[in-house]
Structure formats: C-alpha cells, structure tokens
A and B are shown apart, each in its own frame.
Chain A
C-alpha cells in the first residue's frame, strides 16, 4: 500500500525535471509538457521504456533503484459510469523494473508512438503467466486479446 505524503517531507511531485536520455534506446527525450501532453514525462515516447525513479507516487523521485522499467503491457483504469457500472477508463501503460520487482502504471502521453504501443499490446498476449498473476494480485489487470477492439479504438481513435 502506498503511504500518504509523509508529513514534513518535501513534495517533489511538481518538480520539473530536465530533458533526459532514454535508458533503453538512448534517444534524447524532451521533458516539456507541451511535447508530452502530460505533467510528468516518465517514459520514452520512442521505445516506451521508463526508469525506476519513483517509489510511492508518480514524481516523488524517492526510488534509489534507477534501473530500466520495461513496458509490460496495457491496462485500463476502471471508472464508474452514471448507472453505477464499472467500465474501462483511460488506457495506461504497465512498467516493470528489470532489477527489482517494482511495478508502475503510467499515463500514455500524446506523442507516444502508437505503433510501438500496439506492438507492446501484441507481445503482452504471451506474457509469462506468473508475471500476469503477480500483477493481478497487485490490482493490475493486463488487457488481453478480448480487449483488442477497446485498445484499437483508444489508440487509433476508431470505433
């Protein structure tokens, strides 16, 4: 469980980090919000890898691990519609650390490469079951083939 923001510790959530070089594909990634369309650019838009820098909350920069986090697959935030039914909400990227068992879910940015996102979704159909179960136990459901049309609609804007 995530602790709430600990009293007296600086909230670094709004901290602006500079441009960074992707730990995986080594492309230079501009951090400007205008490019990303999200407040925190936490993954590379070209290969979609992230880095294990946050510990409790997005942007807290409290993790000392700092290893690469690979894009495991996609999940959907659950939201409740006006009839009280749980429906799939925003599409999110699941990241898993290559060195420790850190996992994060992150918002997809406006300039993330759609073709790569679709590729990740494809690949995630063959994920190791143990990883899928471990994520499930942590409350993260990896979207599977049954949700292919949802993923396509969200990523390609088609109905």
Chain B
C-alpha cells in the first residue's frame, strides 16, 4: 500500500543515522529508512573500451565497509506506508567532510568515511581562557575548512573570564588579525550571554559543523543558544564514544531558529588528510594571491628560498608572523 504512488522517490535530508537506520527529514516529518541494496554495491565497469558509452557493468562487489549514506545527504526515498522507508538514491554532494578510516583487513586500502555532507560552514570554538586558546589548532581547523571549500566562523567563548584584563587585549588583537584575513570572529559567553544573538544569526538557516576540543565550552554554549541542546548533543557523543565505530551513529541537530548543527566525536578529529604540503599555502587566504609570484614561481616552498613573496609579505607586515609560523609547522606535520 504505497500512499505516495505519484512521487515514489521523494527527496529528503538524512539528519541522523544509527546502525542500519537512517532518519530522513521531509516537510517537518522524520521517517526511519533502510537503504536499497543497490546502494551498497560498488560497480566494476569494463575498461576494455573506455570510449564506449554507456559503460558496461562487469561485476558488482558487495561493499560492507563504506556507508553510502551520511548525515546531511539529500536522498531520494520511498515511503513504504508502514512508518518506514527505503532510500533509493543519494543525490550528488555539494561537499563532504570525511576521514580516513582504519583498514578493516591487513593489505586492504584505507577508505573514506564520510562524516557529514552538504555543509555550509565550520564553526571553530575556543575558550578565551581555561583552557588557553591554541591559535595553531585554530589554523589547523581553518586550513581543513578551506580544503573543503567551506567558510569558517571563529567563536571565542567564556569571554566573561577575561573581560577587562590584559588577556582581553590580546584576544582583541587576535580577533582583529583573523578578521583581517576574512574570518568572522565572535566573542561569546554562556554565562553573561555575550554574542549569543549574533551567533544565532550566523547559525540560522545553515548547516554548521562545530569543532573544538572538549572543555572549551561547547555544551554550555549550545544550551545557552537553545535550552537542552548541549545536553542532547552530549548524550549522543557519549553513546558513540571513540574508535573505529564513531561514525555508525551521527546526528544533525535542528535549531529552533532554523538551520542545524553537527557535532560528533568523528568531527572532533577533523583532520588534514586531504591536504598536501605542496598546496598548503592555497589554504591560507592571505597567502593564496601570492602563490606563483615568488622568484622560484610554483617551485617555491616558501621556506628559505630567496625572493619568496610570502616571506617578504611577512617581513613587511602584510602577513602575520604567527600565521606564517603555523604554516611552517603545519607543513612539517603533514
């Protein structure tokens, strides 16, 4: 008894997944879905004549490692009419955040685990104090976001702890430096409500991924934005824990004021594995326009080469020496 016979494969958004079940949101309703077995197969195409179109499927392997559906995916699904549905197709992703997964068997290829798809922005959360912000870690997050072509927002929370002191001046200076590069910086506090309206405005209507180490105040910030939100996020994170199964559960939390946030332990490990040392400068927006203008052109590593335009921009004050130092350190870490 299919009640949706006129439009059998409606589009919806996957907002949550647990082992084998995907929760698809459409028109304010959430439907638990399974996936069509067709989505689980990797097709092996004939390469004998690459010009022949359409390509012929030679064989299909059943793929048990890679989950073809991630939170944030726009999917077509069929409502079975019994309170469940079946996902029949995943629409092309605008972008995706993934990590390299542990290899299931010795000798196997590392595969990609998509943590979330179709994101609008990365929100990097730091504490003004307790713990002391790590600008190098922030630069790491920003580079990751740039590599995914996602805009970033920097949130410095617990600002009440430093208001009116020497540290406040340092934070203003850091905020100014990041704004100059083009990253918006919000100063917030869950305690006195500083910056929360602005934060709501930037989150509204967008899918945001929260990144930040534990203890920086994310839970309190989310609770302050929307009562109970932080607690719900934490309950999910606690149940999933760490390890190779981190992405078996993940969830997108809908915001009362529109938009959604994603915060999973998998996202906390937000890595740089898709960034190559060769192209690192491209992910520093203030360095990007200088690429190719060094004396050694595209061969310049911007380390000690004479006539390096990026080093010159640092010495003449156009680029922050701290950002350049982050660049050098990140290149060593890659």
Residues of chain A having any CB pair with chain B under 8 Å: 6-10, 12, 55, 61-66, 100
Q: Which residue of A lies closest to B169 (CB)?
A: A7
A62 near B325 with CB under 8 A, answer yes
- The distance in angstroms between the C-alpha atoms of A66 and B315, with both chains bound, is 10
B170 and A8 within 8 A (CB): yes
Partner of A65, one of B132, B173, B310, B311: B311
Q: How many residues of B contact A (CB 8 A)?
A: 21
User: Which residues of chain A are within 8 angstroms of B136 by Cβ–Cβ distance?
Assistant: 9-10
The A interface, classified by DSSP as helix, strand, loop or mixed, is: loop
Asked, given contacts A55-B321, A63-B321, A64-B324, whether A8 binds B311 with beta carbons under 8 Å apart, the answer is no
Which listed residue (B134, B167, B174, B315) contacts A64, Cβ 8 A?
Answer: B315
- CB 8 Å contact bits of B295-334 with A (1 = contact, 0 = none): 0000000001000001110110001011011000000000
A63–B322 touching, CB < 8 Å? no
In whole Å, how far is B23's beta carbon from the nearest beta carbon of chain A?
39
Decide: B315 and A100 in contact? CB cutoff 8 A.
yes
User: B135, A64: Cβ atoms under 8 Å?
Assistant: no
B314 touches A6 (CB 8 A): no
Decide if the interface of chain B is mainly helix, strand, loop or mixed: helix
Give the shortest distance, in Å, between B169 (CB) and chain A (any CB): 9
In the assembled complex, the Cα of A148 lies from the Cα of B134 at a distance in Å of: 49
The answer to whether B322 and A9 touch across the interface, beta carbons within 8 angstroms, is yes
B residues lining the A interface (CB < 8 Å): 132-136, 167, 170-171, 173-174, 304, 310-312, 314-315, 319, 321-322, 324-325
Given contacts A7-B170, A8-B132, A9-B135, contact A64 B311 (CB under 8 A): yes
Q: How far is the CB of A154 from chain B (nearest CB, A)?
A: 34
Q: Across the interface, which residues of B come within 8 angstroms of A12, CB to CB? A: 325
Indicate if the CB atoms of B315 and A8 lie closer than 8 Å.
Answer: no
A62 to chain B, nearest CB (A): 4
CB-based contact A62/B304 at 8 Å: no
CA distance A145 to B54 in the complex (A): 89
Complex CA gap A107/B134 in Å reads 31
Q: What are 8 A-B pairs at a CB distance below 8 A?
A: A6-B174, A7-B132, A8-B135, A8-B174, A61-B325, A62-B325, A64-B312, A64-B315
**A124 vs B294: C-alpha distance when bound (angstroms):** 36
